[in-house]
Structures are given as C-alpha cells and as structure tokens.
Structure 1
Amino acid sequence: MSLKEYLIDKIKFIIFYVLLMSFISAVVYLDGLVKIRLGNILYINAIGLTLLLLYFLLDYFPMKKYYSTINYIAKNRKEDILTSLPKAKNYEQALWSEIVMSIYREQQQKLDKLYEGKKEGSEFIDSWVHEVKTPIAVSRLIIENSWNKSKNETLNSIEEEIDKIDSCIEQALYYSKIDDFSKDYFVNENNIEKIIKELLKKNAKAFINKKISIELLNLDVNVCTDKKWILFIIDQILSNSLKYTDEKGKITINTETNNKEKVLIIEDNGVGIKEEDLNRVFNKGFTGYNGRKEYKSTGMGLYLAKRLAVKLGHDITIESAYGKYTKVKLHFPKLMDYFNLN
C-alpha cells in the first residue's frame, strides 16, 4: 500500500478536516467579541495540521504492513491462508478477516468432499475391476474345459458368469448415478409382492443351482417408493443372502406393518455375520470376516443399498447370529412420516 493509495483512502476524512478547520477559523476570526490575530489562527491551523500528519504517519505504517501481507498472500496464493492472515488492526479488518476465513473454510470443505468423492470412486473402480475379472476368468476356464461336458451345461455355466458380470455393471451404473439421485427418481405407490417376484425371476438360476428354498409371507403390501431404485436396493440384499446361504438353505421374505412403518424382512439361514462386524456392514468397501475368508466380495452392495435407501426416505437395519441366520429389514415409513422426513 503506497502513501498515495493511503491518502486516497482517507480523502473523505481529509476533506472533512479541512472544512471543519476552515469553519472554526472563520467563526473565530469574524467574531467581533473575540479578538484573535490572524497569526494565532494560522498557528492553531499549523498545529492541527501537524497533529493530523502525525496521526496519518502512525496509522499508515501498520496499515501498510497489513495490506502488504494481504497483497503477498493474494499474489502468491498461499495455501495456509488461515494462519497467514495478519492480525486485524480495527473492527472493519476483523470483519473482513472473519469473512475470508469463513469462505476459505467453506471452500476447503468442498475441496475435501471432492477429494473424498474422487478417492471413493477410484477405490470402487479398483474393487469393481477385480470383481468383474473373476467371472471373465471363470468363463474362459469353462470354455477351455468344455470338451468333456454337454453343450447345455457349458452354456448354462457361461450364462451364470455373464449374469454376474451384468450384476457388476448394474452396480457400477447405480454407483455413478448416486450423486445425481435427485434428478432421476419418481416416488409412487408400488406393490412389494410384484417387486419381489420380479427379482426372484431374475435370480431364479441362483436359487436353482444352490437348491435354496424360498418362503414368501404377507407380501401383498403397497409402499411409496421409486420402483427402479428399490428394485436395485432389494436385489443387493437378496444377492447377499444368496451368496452367504449354503446349498439347500432357505430364504424367507416377509413384511410387517405397525403404526409408523411397513417393514420388508429378508431372512436367510446362512453363515451369519460376526457380532464385531454388524456395526460396519454398511461401510463402504467393508467385507467383514465372511467376505475376506470364504467369499469374493467388494463390500459395495450393502453400502450402495443403504445410501440409496436413505435418499429415498427409507432405512435398512440388520441383525444376525453367526453361523445361524441373517435378517435384513428395509423400513418404509408411513406416508405422513415420509413427508415429514423430507
């Protein structure tokens, strides 16, 4: 900050001072009752001007240092702005410093969020690539070893692996849309029984291959949701049940209704979840003991299901006993509660 810039900044104060001293000098000089010589009036103005210049000098150098620091930060784009900002010299500077720090913190939070999103996306792609490579590799092995098998058996095995690839691709598509969710959903009344039957048809081969029995109870219930998204959410839950249920196991799908909500329950008598893993099953990328030890898993299915369910105004809870059962509950609040939630 140059002296010229400082004086221009103070121009209103200087004009006020000149007008005030001129007025006082004129009144005193022209007052017939008070006899003051012109020399004394000039002396008073000279002293006033000296004090004014002294004030400007004492005020200018701290201000110059303050604005020089600000100018250096602005030109060099220092990252650590919060600690680099000079100490405010007055109330106005304190307010501006607070505004700058507030904007900086807000932008930093946005950058952190973008970074986390990019990191999350990169981690998802890595895990997705590893997951999708497995059925491709298995398909190649099936083809290589197909010489001693029937054509139908080979085709069925390849189709099963293609279904796994299709499931991986669908998961990736829904993951890519999760941030633009508000642009692509329509909530209306849907029948749970129709949704479940559609998903059972889709997963029929998995049920048949593992000889898993299915029991459907009280499914003729209507809920307010988006059909496309809820199909994906329930499919992720059902796929998990199929994956972690042994051959000749059983999956029960039921609904319960109370004053506050309707609940879809998908229960299996599979391997269950260890108690220490229960609170983390919805975390991104968490595979738990089962996913690491015995099954190939990216840990993204339940994570996506939970996030999408919450965005729809629903919720997912889970209870399990290791080695006995797993029960996943999808909660649909009643219509009034749903609108209060949103």
Structure 2
Amino acid sequence: MINSSIKRILKNILAKWPSFMMYLGSISFLGLLCFLYNIDFMLIADLIRFTFIPFVLLLFYRVYHEDKLLKKLKKAYLQGQLLSAVPHSLTERTFIEYFNRAQQQRSQYEKKIQEKFKQHRDYLVMWSHEIKTPLIALSLLAENKNEVASVDVQGQVALAYHQLDLILTYERLADFNHDLNFKWSSVDNIVETIIKKYAVFFIRKNITPRVKVSTVKILTDPKWLSFILEQLLMNALKYSKKNTLIEIEWRDNTIKIIDSGAGIDASDLPRVFEPGFTGNNGRSHDSATGMGLYLAQQISKIIGLKLTIKSKTRKGTSAILSISEDKIEK
C-alpha cells in the first residue's frame, strides 16, 4: 500500500516536467538577456536562489493536492457518490462539475437498471405461477377421474404453451430486430391457423368464431403478426361468456377482433397497454398476467402496425389492428 502510494507520488512529480522546463526556460532566457546587454550574471544567481525553493515547494504542494484529489475521485467513483473537493484552478472546477454530472447520470441509470431487473424478475415469478395453474388443473382432473376428457387435457396444455410463449417473447423483446422476416402474407391463412390452434378454447366455452377475412395479402412478419392476433383472440376468449360469438374481420385496412364479453371499464381503458396492468376484469380472472396486450402493442410498433382497443362495459371489446396502405397488396 505504501509502495503504491510512493510510486503514484513519484509519477505525479515526473508528470510535472513541463513546469520544470518552463522554469529552466525562463532562467535561460534571462541569462541570454544578461549576456546580450552585459548585465551581471549575479542577477541570475539571485533569481535562482530566491525562486527555486518556493518553486519546488509549490510543485510539491500541487502534487500533494492532486494526489489527494485523485484519492477522493477514486473513492467517489467506487461508491457512486459526488466528488466533494475544493478546486484550485478553473480546470479542476470544470472537471469536478462534469464528473458530478456524470455520477448523477450513472446513479439514475443504475436505478433504472435495478427497477427493470426487479420488474423482470417479478414477471418471471408471476409467469412461473401461471404455468403451474394448468398443470395443477391436470393433476386434479387425474386425481378425481379415472378418465380425463381429451378437450380438458388439450385446453390445459394449450394454456401452458400460451404462457410459455409469452415468457419467451418477453425475453427476446430487447433484441427483437434480429428475429424479423417481412414477406407478403395472406391474412386469411394466418387467421385460419390461429383459430385451429385455439380451437379447444372455442369448444370448451361453445364460442363460435365468425370470420369475415378476404384473401388480402399484407407485407409483414407472419410469425409476429400471428403472435399479436393470438394475444387479442386469447383475451376475447378469456372474457367472453359461453355460447357467444367472436367476430374476426378485415375492414378498411384493419383486422378487427370483436367480442361481446365483459368489456373494459372506462377508467382502465387508457392503461390496458401498460406492462402488468390487469384492471378490474383481470383481477377477477386468476390467469390474467397483464402482459399479453403490452407485448402485442410493443411488437405492433416494431413491425409497423397500430393497435387500438375500444370497449364498453358489459357490451364487449374491439381490438383493432391497422395496416398502412403501402403494406397492402393491390
């Protein structure tokens, strides 16, 4: 520790060579003037005798001050604190101001990272519990019945897959642009595939899908358009009553998913795209995570679509996905 301090001080002293050179240069210049104008060189000797010791003392004080400043700087940096030091020059004052500003920005950034990490951890914990729900349901079915209906098994497995898909999508959202593949895709084929995928949920609640989608093609990423529509359709299925209809239609350059379910409270509607927000409806459904619409909206923005939600309490909800005209095949 002592050796390192001595080495640091010696380096600081050696770093002052420009000051030594300036001092020697000044003496040499005065010596030249004495030579040219026949001035007694004792003047130079007196100048050195009266200025050398103060010059060295001043130099050592500067080294001591800078060494002390560096120690404070290192401590403040490691502890994430502001630097509290008396500046001895305009340069030091400017440096301290910029350092403290950088420390404040660093502190704010670290807080954001910590909040994001906590939020990320909370979501993963929440999803882990949501994935347990269909597994527990299957376990209870198996305990209470010798034979479990195929539709019940398929429903719980599909629900588990849906939650797992949400987790994986949330994980890759930060680096999403590397997983995009735009091409001309048929809307009716995408919708038909999704309905088949979630057929078990339609069957369990005896809900009829009414599809009014033409053979229009749009320029998009079919994988992520499917993901968005799956989230919207899953919400419609979740909050729809038994023996009702869910309409899926193409109209005016939009894909609409319309249900006649519980609807969304007017006070909750502005917040439906916030991560983790479930609202009054979500609190009445144990399987609500509040992440489906958030992910759907985030991905919509990335692939150039606009997602809006219109709803009235007890009258149903309309999820509207708008496609710009330049992405629709003429």
Over 3 Å counting, the alpha-carbon distance change for 1:313 and 1:87 in structure 2 is farther
- Cross-structure match for 1:115: 114
Kindly state the Cα deviation for residue 277 of structure 1 after the two structures are TM-superposed: 0.8
Kindly state the Cα deviation for residue 302 of structure 1 after the two structures are TM-superposed: 1.2
- Cross-structure match for 2:167: 172
How many residue pairs were aligned?
A: 322
In structure 2, which of residues 188, 192, 207 is the aligned counterpart of residue 193 of structure 1? 188
- Cross-structure match for 1:141: 140
- Cross-structure match for 2:151: 156
Over 3 Å counting, the alpha-carbon distance change for 1:57 and 1:206 in structure 2 is closer
Q: Please tell me whether residue 20 in structure 1 is matched to residue 20 in structure 2.
A: no
Q: Please tell me whether residue 67 in structure 1 is matched to residue 66 in structure 2.
A: no
**Aligned equivalents of 1:213 and 1:70: distance in 2?**
69
Over 3 Å counting, the alpha-carbon distance change for 1:252 and 1:88 in structure 2 is farther
Kindly state the Cα deviation for residue 68 of structure 1 after the two structures are TM-superposed: 3.6
Kindly state the Cα deviation for residue 133 of structure 1 after the two structures are TM-superposed: 2.0
Kindly state the Cα deviation for residue 283 of structure 1 after the two structures are TM-superposed: 1.6
Over 3 Å counting, the alpha-carbon distance change for 1:290 and 1:41 in structure 2 is closer
- Asked whether the equivalents of residues 29 and 41 of structure 1 are also in contact (C-alpha less than 8 Å), the reply is no
Kindly state the Cα deviation for residue 190 of structure 1 after the two structures are TM-superposed: 1.4
- Cross-structure match for 2:42: 39
Which residue type is aligned with residue 261 of structure 2? Answer: G
In structure 2, which of residues 223, 229, 236 is the aligned counterpart of residue 234 of structure 1? 229
**Aligned equivalents of 2:30 and 2:187: distance in 1?**
89
**Aligned equivalents of 2:318 and 2:143: distance in 1?**
40
Over 3 Å counting, the alpha-carbon distance change for 1:256 and 1:90 in structure 2 is farther
1:192-220: CA deviation from partner (whole Å, max 9, x where unpaired): 11111111111222223322233333543
Which residue type is aligned with residue 50 of structure 2? Answer: I
In structure 1, which of residues 265, 268, 274 is the aligned counterpart of residue 259 of structure 2? 268
In structure 1, which of residues 262, 279, 282 is the aligned counterpart of residue 270 of structure 2? 279
Over 3 Å counting, the alpha-carbon distance change for 1:63 and 1:225 in structure 2 is same
Over 3 Å counting, the alpha-carbon distance change for 1:58 and 1:109 in structure 2 is closer
- Cross-structure match for 1:78: 79
1:32-56: CA deviation from partner (whole Å, max 9, x where unpaired): 4xxx433334223433435534643
- Cross-structure match for 1:10: 16
- Asked whether the equivalents of residues 215 and 252 of structure 1 are also in contact (C-alpha less than 8 Å), the reply is yes
The two structures, once aligned, show a CA RMSD in angstroms of: 2.9
Q: What does 1:296-311 align with in structure 2 at a 5 Å threshold?
A: 296-311=287-302
Kindly state the Cα deviation for residue 20 of structure 1 after the two structures are TM-superposed: 2.1
- Cross-structure match for 1:340: none
**Aligned equivalents of 1:88 and 1:310: distance in 2?**
49
TM-score (norm 2): 0.85
Over 3 Å counting, the alpha-carbon distance change for 1:206 and 1:107 in structure 2 is same
Greater mean deviation of Cα atoms: 245-254 or 293-302: 293-302
- Asked whether the equivalents of residues 236 and 246 of structure 2 are also in contact (C-alpha less than 8 Å), the reply is yes
The SS at the match of 1:272 is: coil
- Asked whether the equivalents of residues 264 and 329 of structure 1 are also in contact (C-alpha less than 8 Å), the reply is yes
- Identical columns (%): 26
Q: Please tell me whether residue 329 in structure 1 is matched to residue 320 in structure 2.
A: yes
**Aligned equivalents of 1:183 and 1:116: distance in 2?**
26
Which residue type is aligned with residue 327 of structure 1? Answer: S
What 5-or-longer segments of structure 1 have no aligned partner?
Answer: 337-342
Greater mean deviation of Cα atoms: 175-184 or 193-202: 175-184
**Aligned equivalents of 2:223 and 2:67: distance in 1?**
63
- Asked whether the equivalents of residues 70 and 86 of structure 1 are also in contact (C-alpha less than 8 Å), the reply is no
What 5-or-longer segments of structure 2 have no aligned partner?
Answer: none
Kindly state the Cα deviation for residue 154 of structure 1 after the two structures are TM-superposed: 1.8
TM-score (norm 1): 0.82
**Aligned equivalents of 2:16 and 2:159: distance in 1?**
74
Greater mean deviation of Cα atoms: 298-307 or 272-281: 298-307
- Asked whether the equivalents of residues 271 and 325 of structure 1 are also in contact (C-alpha less than 8 Å), the reply is yes
Kindly state the Cα deviation for residue 130 of structure 1 after the two structures are TM-superposed: 2.0
- Asked whether the equivalents of residues 151 and 204 of structure 2 are also in contact (C-alpha less than 8 Å), the reply is no
Kindly state the Cα deviation for residue 61 of structure 1 after the two structures are TM-superposed: 5.1
Greater mean deviation of Cα atoms: 59-68 or 13-22: 59-68
Kindly state the Cα deviation for residue 156 of structure 1 after the two structures are TM-superposed: 2.2
